[in-house]
């Protein structure tokens, strides 16, 4: 079982290696792949230093699975080349997500759509994953009508350079290059990614489009505002959900507490609720502040937090790979 990790030196790629190791994924040979400038450098996996190889070298080695976290342009160019030699590609970029010929997968929700001919599989946006993990079971029971989501997103979602910018600002160091158009320390930027259609950012458009494809239901509407905050450890979301059918709060909590991969943290009397500080390094999606919206009927407010580098990226990708292996698709 040869497994390639493309983008192995990046922030998500490093977490992918960690998750593969932690979950004891059945690997006979790990192939770390990165840009030409990184070829020959070493990454650590299971106590061994492995040499980074080029994209073409990895393709020639014909791995069973290649997990990509190297940007949309790289994926568009190289994912088909891996697929042509029989490799299953699990791609973490936005390149293939809304392609009608490609599956967009959160294993707990829709892994059953995968088949042997799905050689390129899209891993959803980090904010989307934690949202649908909560939205899907509630939609099954109460039929979602409309969703309004506001995000509070970690700088780790932008990458190492953004973390460096935040830390440099905290330390009063002006020598580090700026990734964001403004300071992020002591600030909140209502811009995640570039502005696009209707003055929504690409991040907001992903949140508005991807959940419908994953859940397999385009009957509900969804709008989003995505905000970058000076936080490391996870993304947070304030979510308002209007249902077609009414609900009881106790039933909502019961459904979510019984949902695989979701942890309910909702004890306001003892100030227990999800926070990035708590979610960092964990694979679960945490939900709390569960309460009825008094401004309109059949409507719910809740707060969702997850580590965007793990369940929001690396862990979800590895779970897809695990499903392929467990169901003998690979």
pLDDT in tens, 9-51: 999 999 999 999 999 999 999 999 998 888 989 999 999 999 9
Question: Which structural domain range is residue 15 located in?
Answer: 2-124+313-326
User: Which SS3 state, helix, strand or coil, does residue 83 take?
Assistant: helix
CATH number at residue 207: 3.30.360.10
The confidence band for 309, taking pLDDT boundaries of 50, 70 and 90, is very high
Same domain, 116 and 145: no
pLDDT at 112: 96
Provide the β-strand partners of residue 221.
146
Instruction: Tell me the average pLDDT of the chain.
Output: 96
Q: Are 262 and 134 contacting, i.e. CB atoms less than 8 angstroms apart?
A: yes
pLDDT value of residue 58: 97
CATH of the domain at 79: 3.40.50.720
The pLDDT tens digits for 112-154 are: 999 999 999 999 999 999 999 999 999 999 999 999 999 999 9
The position carrying tokens 């698709």 is 329
Whether residue 192 is found in the same domain as residue 266: yes
List all residues 6 or more positions away from 312 whose beta carbon is below 8 Å from its beta carbon: 125, 126, 127, 129, 130, 157, 234, 235, 306
Q: What is the DSSP string of 125-194?
A: PHHHHHHHHHHHHHHHHH-EEEEEEEEEE-GGGT-HHHHHHHHHHHTT---SPPSSSS--TT--BS-SS-
> pTM of the entire structure?
0.95
Same domain for 114 and 243, yes or no, is: no
Instruction: Let me know whether 92 and 131 are in one domain.
Output: no
Residues 109 and 131 in one domain: no
| Whole-number pLDDT of residue 138 | 98
Specify whether 108 is located in the same domain as 136.
no
Same domain, 23 and 172: no
186-198 pLDDT, tens digit per residue, is 999 999 999 999 9
Quick one: 279 and 143 in the same domain? yes
Dist. CA 250–CA 96, nearest whole Å: 38
273 and 320 both lie in a single domain = no
Overall domain count for the chain? 2
Residues, the chain, total? 330
How do residues 54-111 score in pLDDT, each as one tens digit?
999 999 999 999 999 988 999 999 999 999 999 999 999 999 999 999 999 999 999 9
Catalytic residue check, 126: yes
- Given a cut of 90, is residue 210 above it in pLDDT? yes
Of the residues 18, 235, 310, 311, only one is catalytic, namely 235
pLDDT at position 35, please?
87
The pLDDT tens digits for 150-185 are 999 999 999 999 999 999 999 999 889 999 999 999
According to the model, what pLDDT value does residue 165 have?
96
Same domain, 108 and 195: no
Report how far residue 34's alpha carbon sits from residue 273's, in angstroms, rounded to the nearest whole number.
39
Same domain, residue pair 317 and 238: no
How many CB atoms are closer than 10 A to CB 115? 9
81 and 201 both lie in a single domain: no
- Per-residue model confidence as pLDDT tens digits over 229-250: 999 989 999 999 999 999 999 9
Q: Pick the catalytic residue: 12, 111, 126, 132? A: 126
Annotated active-site residue 136? The verdict is: no
């Amino acid at each position: 079982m040869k497994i390639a990790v493309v983008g192995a030196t990046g922030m998500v790629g490093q977490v992918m290696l960690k998750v593969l190791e932690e979950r004891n994924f059945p690997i006979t040979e790990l192939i770390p792949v990165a840009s030409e400038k990184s070829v020959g450098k070493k990454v650590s996996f299971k106590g061994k230093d492995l040499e980074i190889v080029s994209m073409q070298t990895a393709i020639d080695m014909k791995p069973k699975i290649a997990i990509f976290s190297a940007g949309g342009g790289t994926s568009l160019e190289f994912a088909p080349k891996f697929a042509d030699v029989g490799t299953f590609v699990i791609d973490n970029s936005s390149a293939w997500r809304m392609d009608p010929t490609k599956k967009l997968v959160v294993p707990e929700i829709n892994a059953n759509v995968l088949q042997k001919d799905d050689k390129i599989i899209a891993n959803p946006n980090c904010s989307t994953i934690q949202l649908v993990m909560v939205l899907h079971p509630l939609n099954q029971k109460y039929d979602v009508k409309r969703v309004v989501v506001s995000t509070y997103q970690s700088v780790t979602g932008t990458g190492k350079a953004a973390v460096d910018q935040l830390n440099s600002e905290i330390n009063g160091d002006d020598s580090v290059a700026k990734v964001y158009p403004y300071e992020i320390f002591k600030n909140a930027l209502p811009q995640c990614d570039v502005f696009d259609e209707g003055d929504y950012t690409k991040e907001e458009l992903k949140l508005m489009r991807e959940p419908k494809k994953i859940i397999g239901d385009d009957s509900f509407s969804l709008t989003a505002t995505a905000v970058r905050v000076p936080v490391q450890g996870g993304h947070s979301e304030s979510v308002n959900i209007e249902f077609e059918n009414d609900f009881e709060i106790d039933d909502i909590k019961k459904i979510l507490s019984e949902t695989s991969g979701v942890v309910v943290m909702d004890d306001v009397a003892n100030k227990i609720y999800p926070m990035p500080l708590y979610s960092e390094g964990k694979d679960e999606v945490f939900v709390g502040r569960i309460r009825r919206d008094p401004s309109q009927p059949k409507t719910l407010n809740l707060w969702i937090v997850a580590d965007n580098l793990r369940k929001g990226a690396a862990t979800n990708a590895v779970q897809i790979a695990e499903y392929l292996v467990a169901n003998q698709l690979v």
